[in-house]
Amino acid sequence: MVNSPGERRRGARLGQDYATARFNQVIWPLRADVLRVAYFLSHDFSTADDLSQEVLLKAFKAIDTIDAGTNVKAWLLAILRNAWLDRLRARASRPETHLEDLEAEPAAAEDNSTGVNAESSDPQELLNGFSDQEMIDALQSLPDEMRWTVLLIDVQGLSIADAARVLEVPPGTIKSRAHRGRGLLYEALRPLARELGIVDGRPDASESRFRQERP
C-alpha cells in the first residue's frame, strides 16, 4: 500500500524527532571534547567553533550509522579529523610534516633508555599540569601523525584500539607514534615543566613516566 503525502510527512517528522533525541543523548554531551580538540588543532577559537559546528552537523546527518557498541567519542573525532584534513587540503597553505621525514618507526615501542616497558604507566598526571594553551604550543612541534596520536590517547583518553580506528592504522603503529610523540612533547615541555616545578632538573621516574605508553 502506498502511503499518502500526509503519512509520509508524519513519518519524516517522527524520524527527525528520533534523530534529534538520539543526537541530544549521545552526541551533544561530547560537544566540549570536539571543541577542545578543534582548538588544539586550529589554535583559534573562531575556527575551532566553526569546525566543531561542522562536525556536529555531519554527526547529526549520520546519526543512524551509530551502532550500539560504537565508541561515540572516537567516531566524532574521526569526523573531526577528516573535516580538518579537508580544510587543510582546501587551504593548501600549511605544509604537513610526515613521519617519512623522521627515522623509520618500529612496529612496537619500548623505552630502552629506561629499561621500562612502554605500556607500563600513564603520563596523564604530568600532562594535567599544563594548561591547554601550553599543550597547544608544544603540540605544534610534533609531526601531524604524532600530534593526532597524542591528542587522541593522552588528551582525549582513547584506547590504543580506538585511536587506531580513528587514524586507520594498526595498533602497533599507534603505540610507536605515542611513544615517540611523548618523547618529543616532553622535550618541548621540559623547560616549562622545570619552571613550574612539575619535574626538577634531574632525569627521574617522572620523566620516564612521561615518555611511556598508556596501557
Which is it for strands 116-117 and 110-111: parallel, antiparallel or unpaired? antiparallel
Residues in the chain: 215
Alpha-carbon span 143 to 140, nearest angstrom: 8
Q: Is the full-model pTM beyond 0.75?
A: no
Across the range 43-66, mean pLDDT stands at 93
Give ∠ CA 67-86-34 in degrees, rounded to 5: 50
Instruction: Give every CB contact of residue 39 below 8 A, 6+ residues apart in sequence.
Output: 45, 48, 132, 136
**Which residues of the chain does CATH 1.10.1740.10 include?**
5-91
117 — phi, psi (to 5°)? Answer: -60, 140
Residue 71 pLDDT > 70, yes or no? yes
Question: pLDDT-based confidence at 174, cuts 50/70/90?
Answer: very high
99-211: what CATH class? mainly alpha
Considering only CA atoms, which of 135, 174, 123 is closest in space to residue 41? 135
Q: Which pLDDT score is estimated for 12?
A: 52
Alpha-carbon span 67 to 209, nearest angstrom: 36
- Give the cell for residue 72: 561515540
**Which residues of the chain does CATH 1.10.10.10 include?**
99-211
The CATH code of the domain at 5-91 is 1.10.1740.10
Considering only CA atoms, which of 18, 8, 118 is closest in space to residue 60? 18
Alpha-carbon span 208 to 38, nearest angstrom: 29
In the DSSP assignment, the letter for residue 117 is E
More confident residue, 194 or 108: 194
| pLDDT tens, residue by residue, 92-136 | 655 555 555 544 444 444 444 333 333 334 455 566 667 777 777
Across the range 15-42, mean pLDDT stands at 90
